[in-house]
Amino acid sequence: MTINYILQQLVNGLALGSIYALLAIGLTMVYGILRLINFAHGDLMMLGAYVSSIFISATVVPILLAVLIPTLLIAVMGLIVERTAYKPLRGAPEVAMLITSLGVSRLIQNSTVLALSPQPRAFSLPGDLTKTVNVGGIRFTQLDVLTFLLVIVLMVLLTLYINRSKTGMAMRASSENLQAARLIGINVNWAIGAAFVLGSALAGTAGFLWASRYGIIDPFMGFLPGVKAFVAAVIGGIGSIRGAVVGGVLLGVAEIGFVGFLPPEFSGYRDAFVFSLLLIVLLVRPNGLFGASEVERA
């Protein structure tokens, strides 16, 4: 095993982990406030990928629009989902919200199947972004680099936003204690809406990035990455943006490392490994790497 091989697997892991991180940010913000595991989050990513595919097929539209339009549309979509499906459940047991989010996930998947087609669809980004560059024997694409930088920038911006802005403070107060925040006159619904809009926007962007990286999209592509991103958020410490990013990147590296450094017979246990990691983190360090103490334990 050469140093090159190790570095190559690390780069592969970072590229995958960056997308997990983008999804995990949205999940962690929503969970932080509502205690909701939004199973539909990955499906929003899928919608983002489909919206994006409409715009890349029209060659006149620059790539920037293929990123921005899904980002905006999915942000709105996230807000609609929140207001119609989750808002009526305020104060309901958390399990009710969890089941609802599973229902929303199924609804989005199957509506996409019916409206479009169950057939997977190719997604190829014109231009050089997805062309491989070879630096000292390590291969990656420009898009991988951009994704990684984007995640870091977003992490800094969002952390600043949440710590400094009025909405950000409302979000933090709501995640400390939803009832108390409401009592002291914070517009809790506004804070929740903001969390959904921001999180879903990132899911929309992630849809574009995922589709560009892997070149194929289908109506069921989002669910597993969504659940894995939640695992990432738990590893990082739920409620923490920094934790979501670090957790996402770590999970990506661990997943690729598991496949890359163990004998090939183990490759099939890839998902099992991810969830074993989750179990270990939950039991050994339930608040994750950066989380505030919150896990409900018996």
Partner 1 sequence: MKSTIARKTVVLLGGLVLLVVLLGVADATLNNYYLRILQLIGIYIVLTASLNLTNGFTGDFSLGHAAFMAIGGYTSALLTMPLAARALQLAELPVWFQEFVSPFPLATVLGGILAALVALPVGLVVLRLRGHYLAVATLGLLIIVKSIASNWEPVTRGARGLSGLNAETNLWWAFGWAVITIFVVWRMVHSPFGRSMIAVRDDSVAAASRGVHVFRIRLVAFIMSAFFGGVGGALLAHQLTAITPPTYSFDLTFLIVIMLVIGGSGSVTGSVIGAIIMTILPVILRDLERRFELPGVSQIIIAAALIAFMIFRRQGLMGNRELHPSTWFMKKPATPASVDAPQQ
Partner 2 sequence: MRNIRFMALGVSAVMLLAGCSAGGGGGGGGGDSDEIVVGAVYSITGSQASIDEPAYNGFKLAAKEINDAGGINGKQIRVAFSDAASDTTTLTNVVSELIENDGAVALGGTNDSTFALAAGPIAQAAGIPFVASGATLPTLPDQVGDYMFMACYGDDLQAQAIADYSMEELDAKTAWALVDQAYDFTTALNKFFQERFTANGGEIVLEDSYKSGDTDYSAQIARLQALPTQPDVLFVSAIPNEAGIITQQIREAGLTQPIVSGDGYDTPLVAEVAGDNSKDVYFSTHVSLESEDAVVQDFVAAYTEEYGTGPENAFAALGYDTMNLIADALKRATDDTDPAAVKDALASTQDLVAVTGTISYPEGSRKPSKAVSIMRIVDKVTTFVKVIEP
Residues that bind partner 2 (CB under 8 A): 1-2, 5, 8-9, 12, 15-16, 113, 118-124, 132, 134, 139, 141, 210, 214-216, 218, 220-221, 224, 256-257, 259-260, 264-265, 267-268, 270-271
Q: How many CB atoms sit inside 10 A of residue 249's CB?
A: 25
- Distance between CA 39 and CA 17 in Å, rounded? 19
In the bound state with partner 1, the residue whose beta carbon lies nearer, of 112 and 205, is: 112
Contact indicator for 228, 20 with CB cutoff of 8 Å = yes
**Residue 108 near residue 48 (C-beta atoms within 8 A):** no
103 contact, one of partner 2, partner 1, none, CB 5-8 Å limit per kind: partner 1
In the structure encoding, which two tokens stand for residue 59, read together? 């060659």
Residues in region 244-283 near partner 1 by CB under 8 A: 265, 268-272, 274-276, 278-279, 282-283
**Sole residue written with tokens 């590893």:** 235
Residues near 38 by Cβ (< 8 Å), separated by ≥ 6? 26, 27, 30, 31, 101, 199, 226
Which is nearer to partner 2, 157 or 224 (by Cβ)?
224
Measured distance CA(143)–CA(148) in Å, rounded: 8
**Residue 228 CB, nearest approach to partner 2 (Å):** 11
> How many residues of this chain bind partner 1 (CB under 8 A)?
47
Helix, strand or coil for residue 116? coil
Which one, 40 or 191, has the nearer CB to partner 1?
40
Smallest CA-to-CA distance from 234 within 250, 221, 222, 223 is with 250
Site for partner 1 in 72-101 (CB under 8 A): 85, 88-89, 92-100
> Does 138 interact with partner 1 (rule: CB under 8 A)?
no
CB of residue 223 vs partner 1: minimum separation in angstroms? Answer: 9
Within 85-230, strands assigned E span 121-122, 132-135, 138-141, 216-217
Phi and psi at 222, nearest 5°, equal -90, -25
Site for partner 1 in 9-38 (CB under 8 A): 31, 35, 37
Among residues 58 and 298, whose Cβ is nearest to partner 1?
Answer: 298
163 binds, among partner 2, partner 1, none (CB under 5 to 8 A by kind): none
Beta carbon nearer to partner 2, 82 or 255: 255
Question: Which residue in the set 30, 46, 104, 198 belongs to the binding site for partner 1 (CB under 8 A)?
Answer: 104
Binders in 147-206 for partner 1, by CB under 8 A: none
The 10 Å Cβ neighbour count of residue 32 is: 25
Beta-carbon count within 10 A of 63 CB: 16
CA 82, CA 62: separation in Å to the nearest integer?
31
Q: Site residues (CB under 8 A) for partner 1? A: 31, 35, 37, 85, 88-89, 92-100, 102-104, 106-107, 110-111, 113-114, 118, 227, 230-231, 234, 265, 268-272, 274-276, 278-279, 282-283, 286, 295-298
